[in-house]
Amino acid sequence: AQKVTQAQTEISVVEKEDVTLDCVYETRDTTYYLFWYKQPPSGELVFLIRRNSFDEQNEISGRYSWNFQKSTSSFNFTITASQVVDSAVYFCALGEGFQKLVFGTGTRLLVSP
């Protein structure tokens, strides 16, 4: 069965600190996709990244980076030098083939000035 665990319910940091959001997944498929979405206070979910199970290369996009490790079934998300605008709820999700996405319960990030 598919499952996504985001153990951190809420994280509070001060601006310019680095912060890592954890995501652990469970799946029996060899082909699957992992996602991160950002939900700012305005409410919509914004797509951040997609990763397929055959590509373990880490990715960096500006201040954002993602560490995908199949050995530990984790897909962690790091924000470097956090800013107030990063305050949001972040969701990790797992997708397999024709199945529905399975979402984690979300991590609320609060960045204070």
Partner 1 sequence: EADIYQTPRYLVIGTGKKITLECSQTMGHDKMYWYQQDPGMELHLIHYSYGVNSTEKGDLSSESTVSRIRTEHFPLTLESARPSHTSQYLCASSANRVHYGYTFGSGTRLTVV
Residues that bind partner 1 (CB under 8 A): 33, 35, 37, 42-47, 50, 52, 89, 91, 93, 95-101, 103, 105-106, 108
The pair of structure tokens assigned to 5 is: 């665990």
**HSE-up of residue 54 (Cα within 13 Å, Cβ side):** 2
Q: Kindly state the smallest distance separating residue 12's Cβ from partner 1, in Å.
A: 15
Residue 89 and residue 111: Cα distance in Å, rounded? Answer: 11
Rg value, the chain, Cα: 14
Q: Kindly state the smallest distance separating residue 69's Cβ from partner 1, in Å.
A: 20
Nearer residue to partner 1 within complex by CB, 3 or 16:
3
